[in-house]
Amino acid sequence: MLQNNLLQKVSQDQMCTAIGVKVVTSNEIILLARAAGYDSVFIDLEHSVMSIEDASRLCSTSLLSGITPFVRVPYECGSGFVQRVLDGGAMGIVFPHISTPEEARRAVSMTKYPPNGQRSLTAALPQFDFRRIAAKEMIPQVNAVGSTVFVQVETKMCLENIDAIAAVEGVEVLLLGANDLSLELSILGEWEHPRFRDALKLVAAAARKSGKVFGIAGLYSRPDICRHAVRDLGARYVLGHLDIGLLAIAMNKNVEQLRSLDTKP
């Protein structure tokens, strides 16, 4: 059986943690994530120069490490691109800039096998260790737990259509993208602004109403808001930070420590 840490955590009313990967393409980043205790990895093909081959390698390592790999694809990348990412080992796809129920339905169609969607069938997937499994056994598993559909909430139109988008069958996660959404709302980075706080509540309520997972991303420097989203609004998927951000934080701290060595008492 396929293992999806997000769905397993949600079934137990627990939070699923994630680390974003956009610059480090070697397997070591996944092993470090496992050692740190992350539940999932968010591989970013939207805002990076990583290739599908890079993503597939990271996905395969994640699967072997017990960390669930999700991949964010570029906006309007097309069903062929999505299929290659899924065939390469992704356990779910993050679709950015979804604004309408029709776009959400297309996202589901690209990601799920019939009768849930129109994904093309192939054999020997990395999700099953490249073993040949009968389609009648594979398809239900992949549709249920191996092809999670994330709709990224980051446009004003998405907020306006959020209840209808959340109600789309096959959409499993409403992931609020804080940075792009605040930019769209003309309040970039103003996390205390009433419009942003209202957006958090709106997306959380839509997820709760339709039985979908509420997730948050982009609030890496505001653990207080993340805590509010998890404890008060029911968020169950949290993107903790990106690899490049964590490297920058650690390097800055290390330089501070080094410079302190030469500081006279």
pTM for the structure as a whole: 0.96
Instruction: Return the pLDDT at 70.
Output: 98
Q: How far apart are CA 261 and CA 194, in angstroms?
A: 45
For 113-132, what is the mean pLDDT? 94
| pLDDT exceeds cutoff 90 at 1 | no
Among candidate residues 173, 119, 125, the one with its CA nearest the CA of residue 149: 173
CA–CA distance, 176 with 198 (Å, rounded to integer):
12
pLDDT digits (tens, 9 = 90+) for 240-254: 999 999 999 999 999
Position 263 pLDDT exceeds 90 = no
Over residues 11-30, mean pLDDT: 97
Which uninterrupted H or E stretch holds 256? Answer: helix 243-260
| pLDDT level of residue 69 (50, 70, 90 thresholds) | very high
| Alpha-carbon span 124 to 137, nearest angstrom | 13
| In the block, residue with structure tokens 């137990």 | 12
- Mean pLDDT of all residues in 45-71: 97
Whole-number pLDDT of residue 246: 97
Given this model, what pLDDT does residue 123 score?
A: 85
Residue 265 has pLDDT above 80, yes or no: no
On the question of pLDDT at 264 being above 90, the answer is: no
pLDDT score for 67: 98
Question: Annotated active-site positions, please?
Answer: 47
Cα-Cα-Cα-Cα dihedral of 54, 112, 180, 7, to 10°? -90
Share of the chain above pLDDT 90, in %: 97
> Does the structure show a pLDDT above 90 at 262?
no
Element (H, E) at 34: helix 28-36
Q: What is the arithmetic mean of pLDDT over 11-26?
A: 97
- The fraction of the chain above a pLDDT of 70, given in percent, is 100
pLDDT exceeds cutoff 80 at 100: yes
Domain 5-260, second-level architecture: Alpha-Beta Barrel (3.20)
How does 113-145 read in b/e, with b if 16+ C-beta sit within 10 Å?
Answer: beebbebeeeeebbbbeeeebeeeebbebbbeb
The amino acid at residue 18 is: A
Q: What is the mean pLDDT of residues 167-172?
A: 98
